A and B are shown apart, each in its own frame.
Chain A
Amino acid sequence: MVRNILPFLAAVGLGLGLAVSTAAQERTPNDPQLFNPGQLTVATGDPVFPPWMLNDDPAGGEGFENGLVYALATEMGFAPEDVVWVRESFEQSIAPGPKSYDFAIQQISVTEARSEVVTFSDVYYQPDKAVVALPDSPVVGASSFEELRQARWGATVGTTDLDYLENILGISDVAVYDDQAGVFQAMQGNLIDATVVALPTALFVTAVQVPEAKITALLPPDENDRGHGLLFEKDNPLVDWVNEALAAVIERGVVEDLIQTYLVGDEVIPEIRE
């Protein structure tokens, strides 16, 4: 019910805002097109995982994605305390209808098909894909796609990891789990041999969540996966403003700094190209 009422309240609030402060300008923190003028409302997952956001605390500002959001907010003229976080699942983020936020950030990959129903910002990061497996897995020491195809694979529903396995590696019987926990549970139960995830996720998983697993190889990028973007409601007019801020933040090297701080490992990992 609350989810149904929120957009209505928002509309009423928006209407009141328009009536009261006709002086509100576009592209300022009081832009009437904001979900909640005066605030930047940002949605993310529940829970959120390092290194994308640390300590399951988006407002803490530690982590790659929330670091980026605070940099964007500053660029757009918002004070850090005016950034409001909304927690919702990936399914809720992609559900049709009005959104209860300005944009969502949750390692969402930009693809052509998705762009038909939502609007994406420019891409802010393009991760490499990494193979994660237990030390006794048949993929350890593999050097070609052909050898990788012999293994049993698993992936999480809703990720581009699954598309990657099917389209780039050509594996048709990938086991698909609800979440990453399910994938690694299956791996530890010897139901699958390996999985593919974004490299930063792989670094965190192998360091903290499943220390016995390791990254066995890096894989080439998928050209259809353009990288991570911010997700907006279809045709949200704010996207141009956010894109300008994003370009400025990238220009100043902020994103590169965040990548170096949070997303890069120091291991040398073999690459499999074909």
Chain B
Amino acid sequence: MRMEGESPPGSPPGWSTGCGDPPPPAQKTLSLQERWIPLGISVVSVVVVFGGLAWLVGSSEQWPRIQRQFFNGSAMVEAFPAVLRGFWTNLAVWGVVLCCIALWALVLAVFRSLNGPWFAPLRLFTVVYVDLFRGLPALLLVLLFGFGIPALQIPGLPRTSLFWAGTAMVLSYSAYAAEVYRSGMEAVHEGQRAAAKALGLSQWQTLRYAIVPQAVRNVLPALLNLAVALQKDVALLSVVGVRDAVREAQIYTARTFNYSSLVAAALLFLVTSIPLARFTDTIARQDRERRLQRTL
């Protein structure tokens, strides 16, 4: 961790802002003991805790059977091509749905933020929309949309379950994302609006140039968090016949009664969600540093 405002190491006292500053504290050299004992304690405690857990699990009488049924290498290899094929479906659906959510939720948040009597219907719409779609389980929406709307057979509309179930995900997640955007917009200081008004910007221009860009930057980590959650919830689409990674793994499990395919699917999800989580951390850290620099 970098300490903001600290003098660069090695520079003479008072280098930064002239005389009067106290000299930086002298670097204390750690003795061998001070350096290694905490490290030793960390290593030993990690080994004891995780080694103990491993011993507890491994010495269980049922462990060989569980290992055969959950961590069977050859079963994983056998199931992998189908699971991977399903996983591409996950990623494709995730990408498309994510873009739609990012846009639609922003539209909703903007609707909500408009003031003036003429925009009352839009504000009301947003409030009802968020209450409705945030209050319903996503699974229920996927079932209703994925089975219900194609069955209406309305001419001119797509009739695949995939399309409508994806739409259900967009509607559901947009309600959450709209609230995140809104909190970001409310966090923009009131002075910014006043300043924009003073410059003669219209309500629309104020949103476009002053509020939304700052709001999006405020809530980007929270939105990325939603994106990670969405990546896993795409698996809900399997209930309307979409063969995603989890469903392909279930098919293998049901066929052979071997659960290793589910572990293979879990590994695939981790391979994508962990880098995304690290990326979210990086964005959040950069954001924090940017703010600290600005206030200096």
Q: Residues of A with Cβ closer than 8 Å to B? A: 90, 94, 96-98, 111, 113-114, 116-118, 154, 157-159, 162-163, 175-178, 182, 185-186, 188-192, 234
Q: How far is the CA of A234 from the CA of B65 in the complex (A)?
A: 10
Q: Which of B62-96 contact A (CB under 8 A)?
A: 62, 65-66, 68-70
**Can you list 6 A-B contacts (CB < 8 A)?**
A97-B62, A157-B251, A157-B254, A158-B254, A182-B147, A182-B241
B247: chain A residues at CB < 8 Å are: 157, 176
**B157 within 8 Å of A (CB atoms):** no
Would you call A94 and B257 a contact (CB within 8 A)?
yes
**B250 within 8 Å of A (CB atoms):** yes
B250: chain A residues at CB < 8 Å are: 157-158
Smallest Cβ distance from B275 to chain A, in angstroms? 29
Smallest Cβ distance from A124 to chain B, in angstroms? 19
**Number of chain B residues close to chain A: CB under 8 A:** 30
Q: Residues of B with Cβ closer than 8 Å to A? A: 62, 65-66, 68-70, 147-148, 150-151, 153, 159-161, 238-243, 247, 250-251, 253-259
A178: chain B residues at CB < 8 Å are: 238-239
Q: How far is the CA of A97 from the CA of B159 in the complex (A)?
A: 43
Q: How far is the CA of A176 from the CA of B160 in the complex (A)?
A: 14
Q: How far is the CA of A267 from the CA of B238 in the complex (A)?
A: 35
B243: chain A residues at CB < 8 Å are: 175-176
Would you call A177 and B151 a contact (CB within 8 A)?
no
Q: How far is the CA of A113 from the CA of B147 in the complex (A)?
A: 33
A189: chain B residues at CB < 8 Å are: 147-148, 150-151, 153
Would you call A162 and B62 a contact (CB within 8 A)?
no
Query: Which residue from chain A places its CB closest to the CB of B253 in the assembled complex?
Result: A94
Q: How far is the CA of A154 from the CA of B69 in the complex (A)?
A: 28
A94: chain B residues at CB < 8 Å are: 253-254, 257
B238: chain A residues at CB < 8 Å are: 176, 178
Partner of A113, one of B161, B241, B256: B256
Would you call B150 and A96 a contact (CB within 8 A)?
no
A182: chain B residues at CB < 8 Å are: 147, 239-241
Smallest Cβ distance from B254 to chain A, in angstroms? 4
Query: Which residue from chain A places its CB closest to the CB of B152 in the assembled complex?
Result: A189
Would you call A175 and B68 a contact (CB within 8 A)?
no
Q: How far is the CA of A267 from the CA of B68 in the complex (A)?
A: 46
Smallest Cβ distance from B215 to chain A, in angstroms? 40
Q: How far is the CA of A154 from the CA of B161 in the complex (A)?
A: 12
